[in-house]
Amino acid sequence: MNFSNITWLDDKGHIKPPIFLYLILIFLARGWCVFAASLTQFNDRTGLVRLFYPDKIDFLMALGAGVGAVIIYALVIAERKRAPQFARPLFNKIKYGLWLLLAVDAIILNQRLMHDDFLFRVSFALDALFIFWSCIYLLKSKRLNYYFNDWQQETNYQQAESLKEQTQEPTQEPTSALDTDNDKQLLEQAVDDHHIKHYNRPRNSSELTQPLAQSSSQQSSQPLTANIESTDEKTDSK
């Protein structure tokens, strides 16, 4: 048996988010990551942005596309806390959001290639490779699919428990002691009929005395009547 899937669960029994999901979110929100890193540069804050995004339009498009990744990351944090409950329907749609963000990022990559006249760059190649592997991961990952379907509403568990308790309760209860006595008598009578039919005797030994006494009385009465009839014949002959 394979118990490797146990590592997917946390202490509460919920499926943990995969590490590759965090990597996809970082990749999609890399414009915001570059922006946050540029804030730490007090001398030249725009220098780091120009290093990754020479064109200002590309940087703004990356920020716009990264908003969706930030929202998805907030939904992942909400899933870890299992609150608030109104975020649960949005969390179940994360997979579609990731597909949309990857498509938008591919369009942005195409725009950047057009601006550079389709010249080869290592950054462009890495972006295209990561988008490709991200699409394969969304299609093939079982853990990711289980993770998206793991968060359920707490009221669903309460309804299931209540339905389970209702099915375990008896459907009918005896209304009075007379009903129980009648049921017992009918049951005993049915068992006795079964024993008489198959074994030619009743179930209780006390009931054996009545037919035995009747048979013995019949047998004892037969020789007496025979003796009386024989004496009467003798007297008539004389």
- Residue 57 in any domain: the answer is yes
| Same-domain check for residues 121 and 18 | yes
Asked if residue 88 has pLDDT above 80, the reply is yes
Q: What is the mean pLDDT of the chain?
A: 76
Whole domain around residue 18: which residue ranges? 4-154
- Residue 23 in any domain: the answer is yes
Phi-psi sector, 204: left (phi>0), alpha (psi -120 to 50), beta: beta
| Band (132; pLDDT cuts 50, 70, 90) | very high
| Band (208; pLDDT cuts 50, 70, 90) | very low
Asked if residue 52 has pLDDT above 50, the reply is yes
| Same-domain check for residues 40 and 77 | yes
| Same-domain check for residues 139 and 201 | no
Q: With pLDDT > 90 as the criterion, what percentage of the chain qualifies? A: 28
| Same-domain check for residues 130 and 228 | no
pLDDT in tens, 148-158: 988 875 555 55
Asked if residue 130 has pLDDT above 80, the reply is yes
* Encoded tokens for 170: 């008896």
- Threshold 0.75, pTM exceeds: no
| Same-domain check for residues 227 and 147 | no
| Same-domain check for residues 49 and 121 | yes
Separation between Cα atoms, residue 102 and residue 227, nearest integer Å:
118
Per-residue pLDDT, 102:
95
- Residue 10 in any domain: the answer is yes
Pick the more confident residue, 186 or 228.
186
| Same-domain check for residues 14 and 122 | yes
- Residue 168 in any domain: the answer is no
- The count of domains in the chain is 2
Asked if residue 210 has pLDDT above 80, the reply is no
Asked if residue 123 has pLDDT above 90, the reply is no
| Same-domain check for residues 21 and 109 | yes
Give me the mean pLDDT over the 193-207 stretch.
56
pLDDT in tens, 66-79: 999 999 999 999 99
- Residue 165 in any domain: the answer is no
- Residue 92 in any domain: the answer is yes
Give me the mean pLDDT over the 109-125 stretch.
86
Q: With pLDDT > 70 as the criterion, what percentage of the chain qualifies? A: 63
- Residue 76 in any domain: the answer is yes
